[in-house]
Amino acid sequence: MSHSLGPEHGRDLICFSHLRWNFVYQRPQHLMTRCAQDRRVFFFEEPEYVRNVKPHLQIRSAGDVTIVVPQLSEECLDTNEEQRLLVDELLQHADIRDFLLWYYTPMALAFTRHLNPTAVVYDCMDDLSAFKNPPTALRALDAELMRRASLVLTGGQSLFEARRHLHRNIYPFPSSVDVNHFAQARVLNTDPPDQAPIPKPRLGFFGVIDERMDLPLLEGIAAARPDWQLVMIGPVVKIDPATLPQRDNIHFLGGKTYQELPHYVAGWNVALLPFARNAATRFISPTKTPEYLAAGKPVVSTSIRDVIRPYGQQGLVQIADDVSGFVRACAAAMDENSVTRDRQAESFLRQTSWDSTWSRIRLLLDSASRPHQSHAAAEVDAAAV
């Protein structure tokens, strides 16, 4: 299990995530990939359960990041105890001594309380307790992690506002974007094979298709405009695929890699954020908003707070909630002056990138790792977020 990952410039970081590295490439991957440029990063996933297996760690590399997946027996009676032992084993075999802990899921606290990190970071990208069928222990562990954390980051402004009173060292870091990656969509003109036969105009979405998706809205749009084609890209998770609307002009193409996304978006006329307004979407800050804009597409969204602010207020995204309003907004989006829209979008996007986001977070991380010093310097920089 021991391995060398080259020279180390910062403290080792162990990240505990409820999202698998190979699921959908989003915030954790963007941040941990950049974090791994100057330190060893271990991305500890949730367990995989195998029949009659002796508990062990499956380890592989994803670029500079080391992916660690506990392999537990289906007959395992105490998963927290087994994972605690496996975390200890990881520290021993990888010679991890001076380290930081970074949490995306509070559930990992149940088997990592005994560790003695230099600092604890809670990157609270979503309010997981509002999602479908949350674990019963989640709320209590979330509260405990908020107490234990040296530094708390939130995935958006509204989540920051809901939690700012709970921690003295908390900062909002809304979704950022790799502009160059998605700007490829502006020049690509060859459709992927599964999208090529779909007529235009195409209205598209990429992301996870789960309880946050407004399925009745999708069906209503498709029914109102049978000449429009709705292209839905992403894995279907936590909802029964049988509940997805079945219409000739709705196309569920499944999950695609991060590298493939610009090739699909390039062939769309409008990019969609058709989220339901429910507990699971109250605090979301969709990463795809700036990605759509970087791809040069007009965007129509339901009234998600972190889309209204700042995108709707700046005229970068059209907002509508019911079928008739959404259809009107999509029609208007197709008639927009693309030169004017692109100029506005480029001005906005110049202010954000995952590189600059990580640079600001790294200052906060360095400050949190020196708790005897003032956070003032890092706070000044973070205020620019």
**200 in the same domain as 128:** no
Asked whether residue 200 falls in the same domain as residue 266, the answer is yes
Do both 265 and 320 map to the same domain?
yes
Q: pLDDT of the chain along its 385 residues, tens only?
A: 434 333 335 799 999 999 999 999 999 999 999 999 999 999 999 999 999 899 999 999 999 999 999 999 988 889 999 999 999 999 999 999 999 999 999 999 999 999 999 999 999 998 776 666 677 889 999 999 999 999 999 999 999 999 999 999 999 999 899 999 999 999 999 999 999 999 999 999 999 999 999 999 999 999 999 999 999 999 999 899 999 999 999 999 999 999 999 999 999 999 999 999 998 898 889 999 999 999 999 999 999 999 999 999 999 999 999 999 999 999 999 998 889 889 999 999 999 999 999 999 999 999 998 855 444 444 444 444 4
Q: Which domain holds residue 112?
A: 12-176+354-382
Tell whether 7 is covered by a domain: no
Q: Which residues on neighbouring strands pair with residue 277, listed in sequence order?
A: none
Give buried/exposed letters for 232-248 (b at 16+ CB in 10 A, else e).
bbbebeeeeeeebbeee
CA 134 to chain centre: 18
User: What integer pLDDT is reported at residue 136 of this predicted model?
Assistant: 83
For residue 141, is it within any domain? yes
Q: Does residue 49 fall inside a structural domain?
A: yes
> Does one domain contain both 367 and 330?
no
Strand-pair category, 65-73 with 56-62: antiparallel
- The whole-model pTM stands at 0.89
- Looking at the fold, whether 183 and 172 belong to one and the same domain comes out as no
Give the chain's domain count.
2
Encode 18-50: b = buried (16+ Cβ within 10 Å), e = exposed: bbebebbbbbbbbbbbbbbeebbbbbbbbbeee
b/e string for 272-299 if b means 16 or more Cβ within 10 A?
Answer: bbbbbeeebbbbbbbbbbbbbbbbbbbb
Residues 141 and 273 in one domain: no
6 assigned to some structural domain: no
pLDDT at 132: 65
For residue 85, the model assigns a pLDDT of 97
Do both 145 and 50 map to the same domain? yes
Q: Is residue 1 part of a domain?
A: no
Interatomic CA distance for residues 256 and 270, integer angstroms: 19
Q: What is the CATH number of the domain that holds 146?
A: 3.40.50.2000
Q: What is the pLDDT of residue 238?
A: 87
**Rounded Cα distance, 381 and 385, in Å:** 8
Residues 340 and 226 occupy one common structural domain: yes
Whether 231 and 284 map to the same domain: the answer is yes
Q: Phi first, then psi: what are they for 72, rounded to 5°?
A: -115, 155
State residue 14's pLDDT score: 98
In a domain, 375, yes or no: yes
Residues 298 and 366 in one domain: no
Asked if residue 2 belongs to a domain, the reply is no
Same domain, 213 and 339: yes
339 and 359 part of one domain:
no
Give the residues across from 232 on adjacent strands.
205, 252
What tokens were used for 309? Answer: 């602010």
pLDDT at 272: 98
